[in-house]
Chain A
């Protein structure tokens, strides 16, 4: 049987960052993290000894990961952890060919180029229409990667101060429960590099939002997407510099904040 499609290392990092449920979980996380590369050689009894937690506690922790036993979890975790090491060879190649100062300059030029593309390609009228959708919505929910949401948390504060209930829930369970309370008068804004919410069970969440007919807006860097899935689409940055889009999101956030302050009477 094929392994589940989830990235267990990523889920682990998100859980560590936002959703540790007890002191025991913290101890288990610390031991797993400090033995990340060899976790598949550590059986549940040894992990129990190393962490000072019972086998039952470890089993409960593993149940927070989808569709796996302890053995499968450790196997998938190490496999996914090692996938991230591809960057090591990329960096090695880059450093062979460039001085660090050159790489820094490339990063800086790329960041400026990303901002420039956002500015020159921005469909201002479309953005004005999006701010009207925000203003008239019963509520606004922002969905996306944590980093993007953190940038838009300034907008969240601004919208709430304009009496527009605006929600960001970074914990998956909180988000799912919140979405169940929405209807067609609510607006959901996706911020997604690749054009769709990429989080765990992203497709299910997206289909649910379409089912309740909530209004949808997408902020994306990708031009090659099915835009008819959304009521409005705003493009930023460019397809090639996907990792540099955060610079542009900071700019977009400021522009939308300003637009919200301007009220048509």
Chain B
């Protein structure tokens, strides 16, 4: 699957900047993004008060081969994201009336209903069981999924099961090298992210949680795949509900379920 380098650049720099120079370089790139293809390294260097060597180090850290590689890739994926303003010419904001807003609202409600009505309860219970038995849990996924699962991680920590979230790729890779038998790695894949799961630690248990019907090319790499809901709509809205639901299953696994029969 083709990577959207523009999206990738923006999301990475929101989460992982390592120096004052990197902040200023990022500011200048965002300011000049609409003509990044013609922005030379020297110009960017002058504007950001950073040496060309500093810029190249930063660009390479983000996964690009060179400055030329960076501006070509980011520029071409940025161009694809530029909106077709002609399509909306003549339509004023006021014409996006309350009916359109209502449509957005109804779509979200429908997505919640669909998620709730298609929950795979046995998969959710089984997943919670795996999580509470682990020595430690490491969460892997896109930034938004990781934020949704933050409550889940706090809950596991509360029950003395260390649950790690690392958004910096190098740190995550280093951490995964240290995982042993008994540790669990929970992957949450966005339906848009069918990339090779380069981050497998074969000693730890690797499980995948899915909220869509989409088949990922690398599903066979996982020890277990949990398809927790059958839904093709707003993935993050579904995942938000799922994330909060798993928390209840985790507590039920540890504290015992309902009717006053608590184990602890």
The residues of A that contact B30 with a CB separation of less than 8 Å are 160, 165-167
Q: Does A34 contact B (CB under 8 A)?
A: yes
Q: Mark B18-44, 1 if CB is under 8 A from A, else 0.
A: 101001000100110110000000000
CA distance A36 to B34 in the complex (A): 47
Decide if the interface of chain B is mainly helix, strand, loop or mixed. helix
Q: Does A3 contact B (CB under 8 A)?
A: no
Q: A107 contacts B244, CB within 8 Å?
A: yes
Flag if B237 contacts A250 (CB, 8 Å): yes
Cβ-based interface call for B1 (8 A) = no
A85, B255: Cα distance in complex, Å: 13
Question: 1/0 per position for B163-183, CB-CB distance to A under 8 A?
Answer: 011111001001100100000
Contact with A along B83-106 (1 / 0, CB 8 A): 101001111111110101110110
A18-B167, A107-B245 known; A98 vs B258 contact (CB < 8 Å): yes
Q: How far is the CB of A38 from chain B (nearest CB, A)?
A: 10
CA distance A101 to B246 in the complex (A): 11
CB distance from B61 to the nearest CB of A (A): 14
Contact B7 A128 (CB under 8 A): no
Contact string, A160-172, partner B, CB cutoff 8 A, digits 1/0? 1111011111110
Q: Is the CB of B252 within 8 A of A100?
A: yes
- Could you say which of A139, A160, A250 contacts B240, with CB atoms under 8 Å apart? A250
Interface residues on chain B, number (Cβ under 8 Å): 85
A21–B166 Cα distance when bound, in Å, is 12
Interface residues of A toward B: which range?
A: 35 or more
Which residues of A sit under 8 angstroms from B92, Cβ to Cβ? 262, 264
Chain B positions within 8 Å of A158 at CB level: 83
Interface centre among B89, B93, B119 (most CB of A within 10 A): B93
B262: Cβ under 8 A from any A Cβ: yes
Could you tell me if B101 and A108 are in contact, using CB atoms closer than 8 angstroms?
no
Complex contact B245–A18 (CB within 8 A): no
A262–B95 CB distance below 8 A = yes
Known: A34-B136, A34-B162, A254-B104. A111 touches B112 (CB 8 A): yes
**Inter-chain contact A157/B108, CB cutoff 8 Å:** no
Q: Indicate if the CB atoms of A87 and B158 lie closer than 8 Å.
A: yes
Say yes or no for A259: interface residue by CB 8 A criterion.
Answer: yes
Q: For residue B95, which residues in chain A have a CB less than 8 angstroms away from its CB?
A: 262
| B93 pairs with A264, CB closer than 8 A | yes
Q: Are A91 and B251 in contact (CB under 8 A)?
A: yes
Across the two chains, which residue of chain A brings its CB closest to B102? Answer: A119
A43 in the interface, Cβ–Cβ < 8 Å? no
- A61 touches B (CB below 8 Å): no
Cβ-defined contact, A100 with B112, below 8 A? no
Q: Is the CB–CB distance between A18 and B160 below 8 Å?
A: no
In the complex, the answer to whether B88 meets A261 with C-beta atoms within 8 Å is: yes
Instruction: Give residues 211-258 of B contacting A (CB, 8 Å).
Output: 234, 236-237, 240-241, 244-245, 248-249, 251-252, 255-258
Q: Kindly identify, within residues 99 to 136 of chain A, every residue whose CB is under 8 Å from any CB belonging to chain B.
A: 99-105, 107-108, 111-112, 115-116, 118-119, 122, 124, 128, 131-132
B104 and A258 within 8 A (CB):
yes
Q: Does B122 contact A (CB under 8 A)?
A: no
CB distance from A53 to the nearest CB of B (A): 14
In contact, B15 and A100 (Cβ under 8 angstroms): no
Q: A92-B262, A265-B90 are in contact. Are A87 and B155 (CB under 8 A)?
A: yes
Which of B240, B252, B262 meets A246, CB within 8 Å? B240
Known: A30-B175, A170-B15, A177-B23. A99 touches B165 (CB 8 A): no
Q: Does A17 contact B (CB under 8 A)?
A: yes
Q: Contacts A84-B154, A96-B262, A250-B108 known; A18 to B168 CB distance under 8 Å?
A: yes
- Name the A residues within 8 Å of B248 (CB-CB): 91, 94, 100, 103-104, 107
A88-B158, A119-B101 are known contacts; what are 8 more A-B pairs with Cβ within 8 Å? Answer: A13-B154, A94-B251, A115-B109, A119-B105, A161-B82, A246-B148, A250-B240, A259-B93
